[in-house]
């Protein structure tokens, strides 16, 4: 899979580290509980998912990508 970096151009997926950007409910007010939800409770949704990708082996910058989990899109 190839990811287009806004700074480096098309790069292989092996250069990236990524994760889902979760939506934590506003009802959770304890900062520690919010961090636990953010780190461990992913929606694993089918379809379009917004993720943060870090270009570890390139420019070392974050970018937000919307990825479709139904295939390699």
Go through the domains of the chain in sequence order and give each one's CATH number: 2-68 (3.30.2270.10)
Per residue in 21-69, pLDDT (tens digit) is 566 566 667 777 767 766 666 666 788 888 888 999 999 998 888 888 8
pLDDT of residue 9: 95
Q: What is the DSSP string of the chain?
A: -EEEETTTEEEEGGGEEEEE-----TT---HHHHHHHHHH-----SSEEEEEEEETTTT--EEEEEEETTTT-
pLDDT band, residue 20 (cuts 50/70/90):
low
Residue 73 has pLDDT above 60, yes or no: no
Q: Is the pTM of this model over 0.75?
A: no
Residue 15 has pLDDT above 80, yes or no: yes
pLDDT of residue 10: 96
């Amino acid at each position: 899979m190839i990811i287009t970096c806004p700074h480096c151009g098309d790069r292989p997926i092996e250069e990236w580290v990524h994760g889902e950007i979760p939506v934590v409910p506003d009802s959770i007010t304890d900062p520690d509980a919010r961090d636990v939800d953010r780190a461990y409770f992913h929606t694993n949704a089918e379809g379009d998912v917004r993720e943060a990708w870090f270009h570890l082996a390139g420019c070392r910058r974050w970018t937000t990508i919307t990825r479709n989990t139904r295939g390699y899109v």
